[in-house]
Amino acid sequence: SFRLTVNQGASVWIPDPDAVWVSSQLLQDYKPGDKHLLLQLSDGNKVHYPLGSASDLPPLGNPDILEGENDLTALSFLHEPAVLHNLRVRFLDYNSIYTYCGIVLVAINPYDQLPIYGEEVIDAYSGQDMADMEPHIFSVAEESYRTMTREEQNQSIIISGESGSGKTVSAKFTMRYFAAVGGAAQQTSVEERVLASNPIMESIGNAKTTRNDNSSRFGKYIEIGFGRKGDIIGANMRTYLLEKSRVVFQASAERNYHIFYQLCASRELPEMRSLKLDAPEYFRYTSQGGQMQIPGTDDVSDLERARNAFTVLGVQPDQQMELFRILSAVLHLGNVNIQADDRSLAVFSKLLGVEGPQMAHWLCHRRLAIGGEMLVKPMSGQQAMEARDALAKHMYGQLFTWTVQRLNSALHTQRGQVKSFIGVLDIYGFETFDRNSFEQFCINYANEKLQQQFNRHVFHLEQEEYVREELAWNRIEFSDNQQCINLIEGQLGLFDLLDEECRMPKGSDESWVQKLYNQHLTSKRHPHFQKPRMSNSAFIILHFADMVQYECDSFLDKNRDTVFEELINILKASQLVAELFQQQENVSAVANGSVRSGKRSTREHKLTVGFQFRQSLQMLMDTLNSTTPHYVRCIKPNDLKEPFMFDPKRTVQQLRACGVLETIRISAAGYPSRWTYEEFFSRYHLLLQGFRSEEQAQVSCRRTLPDLIPDPDQYCFGKTKVFFRAGQVALLERLRAEKLRAAAVIIQSRVRGWLSRIRYSKILWATVTIQRYSRGALARRLAETLRYTKAALMIQKTYRMVVVRQLFLMIRQATVTIQAFTRGTLVRRRYRELLAERAAVLLQARVRGWLARQMYRRVRAAVVFMQCCVRRRAARRELLKLKSEARSVERYRELNKGMEVKLMQLQLRADQEVGDSSALRETLHAEREATSAELEALRATIQKLEAQKYEKLQPSPAISEEEVEKMRRAEDKAAQEILQLTEVGQENSDTFQNFINQALNKASTALREELDEERRKYQGLLREFTRLEQRYDNLREMSLLTEVHNCDQLMEKMDVAKEPVVKMREEDLAHAYDAVAITISAINTARTTDRLPLLSHFISLSVCIRFLENQLRTQRSQWEQEMEALRCELSQAISSSSSAALKRPQLCSNSCVADSFDLAMFTLLSVFAPDVRVDSALSLPPGLPASVLFLCVRQADCSGDQTRARSLCSAAVTAMKAALKKHSNDIAMTALWLKNTCVLGDLLTQHSPKQTLDSDELVPLTSDLSDLIRALSDLCIQAYQQLLSITETHLQNIIVPALLESETITGLSGPAAKLGTPRKRAGSEPRTGPGDAAPTMASVLRELGALHTALSHQALPLVLMEQAFRQLTYFISASALNSLLLRKDMCCCSRGMQIRYNVSLLEEWLRGRGLQAGGAAATLEPLIQAVQLLQAGKKTEADAEALVQTCTALSGQQIVKILTLYTPHSDLDERVTLNFIRSVQVPQSSPMTVRSVLVNNLKIMRLILCFPRGFSKVAAMGSLHIS
């Protein structure tokens, strides 16, 4: 296969001293027998790679499509450079610290805070398949948790790695995940205690080393116990090999355990002053490494955190102080120099309560038993220091063991039997230093055992897969390190010889090393044991990971770990530390050391440290073998602790040490690449022959593969999958690419021919077109020439014509001009002659006329003079005649007789006028009497009507002061007018008489009109009185209704019974004012006609008005009494009807119900009972129970019984809480109680005294129900949250399958499958069974529709519905987006189209129900932009700018994450380049700001409950106008 794949252009890996492996490209084909390969490196240099044989060929590179694969076993070529390159790409380019390697999770320490461990990430991984999600520590934890709950089998998570690789952090996050997904319902201390154990163990078990600032110097195995429901009910911790030597010695740049520095930093606290502590530099045990402070840590706050954890675990403050006293005593013990006035010794003795002289004596002396006698022997200074250090280590070891026991007792379950557990093993990885001692020897031995268990488990899983598929396979050979383990723990192994040497009286490290040389080199050479060339005090062991040289110095002392019995006895006498050493006597088999006494028979303990470690390690291996293991391998990328810095040398060293490469080797030894037949057919159907349908995929594969891969050993057919050895997938990819290339060449040839033909056709058409246009141009040019010639001739002809014509016109114009001037001269001459002739004639006429007029004037004057003379003479004669007649008597008599006749006629005429005036006066008097009678009749009628309404109407208020003032002004004005008329009448009687006559006529007409108007008013009053009588009869009939089903009508009638007091009062007053207005207008009219006689009538009418006001007041008081009686009758009717229809045995048995009102109140509360029937409750009108209950509360409040009203509200709140608790999973009932709770709370709020101060429409309650109103408000929020929680619970498990995975558009994803599909991991099973239907968008819309139906049925406000659906759509969008950001298989163009269509269905559903305006559709914008990002172009810089400008709802990290995960699912698509990803990266606003990539789906405004003010009055009460 190498010959087929290693051709020119192939990518290969060659070794490099710095980068370990570098990529290069083959410049020429490889032929068998070539001695070198011509390669080109990535930097452009060409090199010759030497070849000794075909086995020396460099490893091949994987296809580009597999770059950054999240599972190393999915690579086509499984080898070290491919693994290293894939990890580097994911770590540096994608910022992904987690990668799968089969069943192993490889975790690279980023040395930086990453936002990938929040609550939203836990929610995203909870319940998801391991194969579907991006690699994460939470994915491993979820896999173990699901396997435990499904198979009821114990699980183990083995976390290993070098110091500083992040083991402790991984274990911490694993426990945090279990505490989150397995939390108990109540806030018990189990989860808190499990998490609280971490800061305590970090303080007393972690220290700073040269490789890690927070290195765990012990191994621990925490078993987290789960109950039947999957909740945490307990935990237990086991520790392994505490590094006690660190207490008394630290290397350069290292620190002691954190707890010592935390105590020294907190020495200024009041409770710490009694410990006599000082700075860490003062104590010998904390100053040897020279590092007193760790950058970025606060020892004071860390100690406070540890003390809080102690409190959570039940360790009292006084016990904590005792613990701190012992630790402080250890520090002071390190400064003891055995002097006469040793201050440190005195402080040590005082803190522990021991005798100082005794301690000083036995630190410098030892007791020996010789011949039955006890001898005391002084020790040298070096021996005394060793005894002091041994005592300090022993004390700290016992304190550590005691602390672990206290933690276990606090974490012990008290809530039932542990059904299963998950163990988290945080143990040291393989270690090799410049100088390796006993601790490294034990650590590497433990890693040998764990690696053996790991290899066998991986091998077992591989073989299980082959057996399941019924493959004819050969046994896979893997490197078993059993020989190395036998060298350490076998008979006459290193531990046996070490324990034997420890039992020797004069055993030493040198003699032990010589025994090792003799046993494993001289007598029988062991393949894993060697001797250094330049040293006789060291030995070399060939471990599975590396060759390690151990220095034998202090091996025996550390293995013995002895302390003198006399010192222990002194400490046992102290009440403070006696408890620490009791366990040594009770459980000797698990003691952490041996005690040396003076007696020879019991001088030394048989249980050495090595023996104890082997026992505990064997127990651990038995536990791991009985569980299903899950592996996490932590990698330290560099020794400088720099964030995102990748050192390939250190990484490869750890990959070899942690067994990742061994996993790759085991996988490569078998069939690492495996495809289902459907997936294989989808990818390689081009290469298959025969059937081309997916139903015949297996037959096609079996028929075609032998032709594609001639060697049958390179593949194998299983029941459901086809298996390939390493490199065969790359071969198939090459064959597929060649076939596609050949097909592309054929397509290209056809396309090029077609393009050439089209080009020829276009050229031919262009040529013909050019010719046609050329000929046309020539023809047009000829035609234009002809036109120009013709035009020239025409111009010449026209020009010549114009010249001749102009000459002719000029001559003709000159001739005409001469003729005109000649003729003008002749005419003017003739005109002057005629003018002179006419003047002479006119002069003659004027002279002749003047002479004639003079003659006429003289004749006329003579005639007139003659006439005057004649007439004067005749007039004189007539005058004389008249004078003579005037002197006669008879003339006077004739004149007097005519005058008498005229006087008699005038007298008769005067008498006639007087008679007419009397008749008019009598008529006026009669009209007045008739008007007065009619007015009296009208008053009698009004009094009769008022008497009939006397029992029903209320008196109207008195006439206003303005009207009284108006009448007074009218009276004054009338008096003034009458006075003026009287004065005028005295002056001129005739004028007065005429005015009186006119006034009488006007008065008669006005009185008739007023009479007609009063008749119309009277008829209106009769009609209104009839209407009021009918309303009163209806009110009487309403009070007799007692049926329960007419409760709504009773409420409406009650509203009518209350309102008439106001309504009828307004109507009656209006009628009374109309009557008064009529009377006043009549008075004013009468005063204008006859003011003097009507003044008394006006006074009588005023008295009538006052009487009417008094009547209306009396009527109002009687009406109020009648209304109070009607209220009492209505309350009795409600009480009797309620007691007859809603009697319940639970509430009727209450002995405290004394009267009918109490019975009615508690019967109403039966509607709020938790056990009410659901159908009955849902059939009620929205808010009816709360409305009726409020009416009862108001009735009790109006009756003055505030205690009863308050107890009724309290009982209602209690009943509502019980109902919500019972129906915690029922959407319809929860919506019902949300409605009633809000209605009741809103009504009580509206009628509270504070709310009604500024309102005259509402009657306030006298009872103070503010605390109950707050309780109802809290209950509203609880019901609202419960409503959303129910819907979210139903949606939780269907959002991702429905929105992301469902194939709504069939066939859109296409047949192409993802290259290198990861294998299904052990224990992973799909969420749905084989018979279960996968959730679709219809399921999501069905859940949302159920909520919308429940809210609409209860007529809840639109604002509330919009808020609820806005929060739900935010939850849906956040959950889907989080899953999309963690799933590589979803990040492709076709899947983006599917998701966008599913989201459009949700948007259409929201629009169809009018919910898009409330912001529900806007919450889907991040998800919409994410799927648009999958479909957009991702190649050029313009595309990058467009993406950044378009995806405004996504953060820069989310955009980069989606582009990083983008995986092409077809050959037409390609990966997003790293340069494009860098171009769209948005820099963080601050380098210290760390934002989460995922969306917090719990970030919902659940407490922001917006109800419109007074909505209950509009929506819930309907037509009940409660005031």
Please spell the DSSP secondary structure of 1039-1086, one letter per residue: TT---GGGHHHHHHHHHHHHTHHHHHHHHHHHHHHHHHHHHHHHHHHH
Q: Where are the alpha helices (DSSP H) in 685-727?
A: 697-708
Q: Per DSSP, what are the bridge partners of residue 716?
A: 723
> Is residue 156 part of an annotated ligand binding site?
no
Classify residue 1415 as left (phi > 0), alpha (psi -120 to 50) or beta. Answer: left
SS3 132: coil
- CA 988, distance to chain mean position in Å, is 101
Q: Where are the beta strands (DSSP E) in 1170-1300?
A: none
Radius of gyration of the chain (CA): 60
Decide if 420 is catalytic.
no
Q: Are 972 and 1055 in contact (CB under 8 A)?
A: no
Q: How far apart are the first and last CA of the chain?
A: 93
**List 68, 102, 164, 727, catalytic entry:** 164
Q: Where are the alpha helices (DSSP H) in 1314-1388?
A: 1337-1353, 1358-1382
The two structure tokens encoding residue 756: 């050439």
The two structure tokens encoding residue 684: 């390689």
Q: Per DSSP, what are the bridge partners of residue 423?
A: 156, 223
How far, in Å, CA of 837 to CA of 835, rounded? 5
Please spell the DSSP secondary structure of 1086-1136, one letter per residue: HHHHHHHHHHHHHHHHHHHHHHHHHHHHHHHHHHHHHHHHHHHHHHHHHHH
Largest CA distance in the chain: 219
Classify residue 716 as left (phi > 0), alpha (psi -120 to 50) or beta. Answer: beta
> Is residue 1203 part of an annotated ligand binding site?
no
Decide if 825 is catalytic.
no
**Residue 506 φ/ψ, nearest 5 degrees:** -115, 35
CA angle 25, 101, 87 (to 5 degrees): 45
**List 431, 469, 489, 1301, catalytic entry:** 431
Decide if 429 is catalytic.
yes
SS3 1159: helix
As to burial, measured by CB atoms within 10 angstroms (0-12 exposed, 13-18 middle, 19+ buried), residue 270 is exposed
**List 73, 147, 163, 663, catalytic entry:** 163
Identity at 848, one-letter amino acid code: R
What distances in angstroms separate CA 508 from CA 340, 379, 537, 553, 557, one per listed residue? 34, 19, 11, 9, 9
In 10 A of CB 277, how many CB atoms? 23
Q: Are 206 and 258 in contact (CB under 8 A)?
A: yes
> Is residue 166 part of an annotated ligand binding site?
yes
How far, in Å, CA of 1263 to CA of 1283, rounded? 32
The two structure tokens encoding residue 758: 């089209």
How far, in Å, CA of 1231 to CA of 1350, rounded? 6
The two structure tokens encoding residue 160: 């290993």
Q: Which residues of 322-353 are buried (b: 16+ CB within 10 A; e: fewer)?
A: bbbbbbbbbbbbbbbeeeeebebbebbbebbe
- CA 640, distance to chain mean position in Å, is 40
**List 227, 334, 423, 429, catalytic entry:** 429
Decide if 215 is catalytic.
yes
Place of tokens 């309404």: 949
Identity at 1084, one-letter amino acid code: N
**Residue 365 φ/ψ, nearest 5 degrees:** -135, 160
Please spell the DSSP secondary structure of 168-179, one letter per residue: HHHHHHHHHHHH
> Is residue 165 part of an annotated ligand binding site?
yes
> Is residue 245 part of an annotated ligand binding site?
no
How far, in Å, CA of 263 to CA of 1293, rounded? 49
Decide if 164 is catalytic.
yes
Identity at 1289, one-letter amino acid code: T
Query: Please, which residues have CB within 8 angstroms of residue 1426's CB and are 6 or more apart in sequence?
Result: 1377, 1380, 1381, 1447, 1450, 1454, 1458
> Is residue 161 part of an annotated ligand binding site?
yes
What 8-state DSSP symbol labels residue 376?
Answer: E
Decide if 431 is catalytic.
yes
How far, in Å, CA of 1160 to CA of 1142, rounded? 9
**List 147, 154, 168, 1336, catalytic entry:** 168
**List 206, 216, 667, 1084, catalytic entry:** 216
For the annotated binding site for ATP, the residues are: 161-168
For the annotated binding site, the residues are: 161-168
Q: Which residues are catalytic?
A: 163-164, 168, 212, 215-216, 429, 431
